[in-house]
Structure 1
Amino acid sequence: MTAFPMIRLAGGPRERGVEHGRQAADRIALALDLYRAEFARKGVAWEEALALASEFLTHMRAYDAELVTELEGIAHGARQPLPAIVIINARTEIMYWKAGKQKTREALVGADECTSAVAMPEATADRRTLHAMNWDWQVDCAELIVVLNIAATADAPAILTSVEAGQLARHGFNGAGIAITINGLHSSQDYGRFGIPSPMIRRRMLMSTRLATAMYALNNAPRAFSHYVAVSHAGGEAFGIEATPDDLFVLSPQNGVLVHANHFQSPIAQIKLTDLNIARLPETLYRERRVARHLEKAAGSITVDTIKAALADSYGSPDAVCRSPSQRPGGMVTGTVYTLVMDAGAKSMLLAPKPYLGAHYTEYRLDA
Structure 2
Amino acid sequence: MEKSLPPSGFSMSRRFPIVVLYGSPFERGRQHGSLFSSSIRAALDALRERAGQPGWSAAEKVAASSWTYLLGQQPQIAAEIKGIAAGAGFSPLDIYCLNGFEFFDEPAPTGCTSVAVSTSAGAVVGQNWGGPVGTEEQLVLIVHCERGLQYTMITSPGTLGWVGFNSRGFAFVTNDLMLDRSATGIPSLVARRLIIRQRRVEDAIAVLRSIDHMGGRCYLFGDETGAVGGVEISPKAGVISLEGPAIVHTNHPVTDPLLPHECVDVAAAVYPSSQARLHTLNRLRHLLDGKEGVQRALSDTSGAPDAICKSFSADEPTQTAFSFIFGCRLMEAALSVGRPATNAYHDYAPVDPVLRHVAVRSA
Query: By the TM > 0.5 criterion, same fold?
Result: yes
Q: Which amino acid aligns with 2:144?
A: I
**Native 8 Å contact 1:27 1:143 kept in 2:** no
8 Å CA contact 1:137–1:335 kept in 2: the answer is yes
User: How many angstroms apart in 2 are the aligned matches of 1:141 and 1:317?
Assistant: 20
Residue number in structure 1 paired with 2:215: 225
Matched, 1:310 2:277: no
Alignment of 1:270-309 (within 5 A): 270=259, 272-276=260-264, 278-280=267-269, 281-294=271-284, 296-298=285-287, 302-309=289-296
**1:99 corresponds to which residue?**
none
Give the distance between the partners of 1:51 and 1:139, measured in 2 at CA: 30
> Which residue number corresponds to residue 132 of structure 1?
126
Q: Work out which of the residue numbers 177, 181, 185 in structure 2 matches 1:185.
A: 177
TM-superposition CA deviations, 1:190-211 (whole Å, max 9, x none): 2x51210111111111112343
Secondary structure at the counterpart of residue 279 of structure 1: helix
Alignment correspondent of 2:4: none
1:141 counterpart residue number: 135
Deviations along 1:239-271, whole A, 9 cap, x unmatched? Answer: 120011131111112xx311000111112322x
Matches within 5 A, 1:1-368: 2-40=14-52, 45-91=55-101, 93-96=102-105, 108=107, 110-122=108-120, 127-153=121-147, 157-187=149-179, 189-190=180-181, 193-246=183-236, 247-253=238-244, 256-270=245-259, 272-276=260-264, 278-280=267-269, 281-294=271-284, 296-298=285-287, 302-328=289-315, 333-355=317-339, 358-368=342-352
State the TM-score, normalized to the length of structure 1: 0.84
- The one-letter code of the counterpart of 2:261 is L
Deviation at 1:180, TM superposition (A): 0.7
How far apart are the structure 1 equivalents of 2:348 and 2:37? 21
Aligned-pair CA distance for 1:327? 4.1
Give the structure 1 partner of residue 10 of structure 2: none
Shift of 1:158: 1.5
- Matched to 1:261, the amino acid is T
How many equivalent pairs are there?
A: 337
Distance in 2 (alpha carbons) for counterparts of 1:322 and 1:37: 30
Alignment partners' CA distance in 1, 2:329 and 2:100: 30
Unaligned runs of 5+ in 2: 1-12, 353-363
1:30–1:363 CA distance, 2 compared to 1 (3 A): farther
Partners of 1:312 and 1:322 within 8 A in 2? yes
Is the 1:258–1:292 contact (alpha carbons within 8 Å) kept by the matching residues of 2? no
CA–CA separation in structure 1 for the residues paired with 2:308 and 2:103 = 27
Secondary structure of the 2:16 match is: coil
Q: Identify which of structures 1 and 2 has the higher relative contact order when contacts are C-alpha pairs closer than 8 Å and 6+ apart.
A: 2
Q: What is the CA–CA distance in structure 2 between the aligned matches of 1:317 and 1:39, rounded to whole Å?
A: 31
Letter in 2 for 1:244: S
The aligned counterpart of 1:102 is none
2:300–2:341 CA contact under 8 A, matched in 1? no
Q: How far off its partner does 1:134 sit?
A: 0.5
The structure-2 alpha-carbon separation of the partners of 1:278 and 1:81, relative to structure 1 and needing over 3 Å to count, comes to closer
Determine helix, strand or coil for the equivalent of 1:345: coil
Q: Which moved more, 1:63-72 or 1:320-329?
A: 320-329
- Could you tell me how far apart the structure 2 residues matched to 1:177 and 1:44 are? 44
The one-letter code matched in structure 2 to 1:38 is R
Contact 2:84–2:95 (CA<8 Å) still a contact in 1?
Answer: yes
- Matched to 1:73, the amino acid is G
Task: Give the Å deviation of 1:35.
Answer: 2.2
**Code of the aligned partner of 2:119:** P
- Residues 131-188 of structure 1, C-alpha deviations (whole Å, 9 max, x = no match): 100111222322321111111336xx2111111112223211112222110100011x
Task: Report how far residue 46 of structure 1 moved.
Answer: 3.0
Closer/same/farther in 2, CA of residues 304 and 44 from structure 1, 3 Å limit: farther
Normalising by structure 2, report the TM-score.
Answer: 0.86
Report the RMSD for the aligned CA atoms in angstroms.
2.2
SS of residue matched to 2:96: helix
Amino-acid identity (%): 24
State the one-letter code of the partner of 1:148: I
Report if aligned partners of 2:253, 2:262 keep a CA contact under 8 Å in 1.
Answer: no
Check whether the contact 2:110–2:318 (CA below 8 A) recurs between aligned residues. no
In structure 1, what is the Cα distance between the partners aligned to 2:160 and 2:111?
Answer: 20
- Given residue 262 of structure 2, which amino acid in structure 1 is its aligned partner? T
Contact 1:318 1:326 in 2 (8 A): yes
Q: Answer whether contact 1:31 1:144 (CA < 8 A) is retained.
A: no
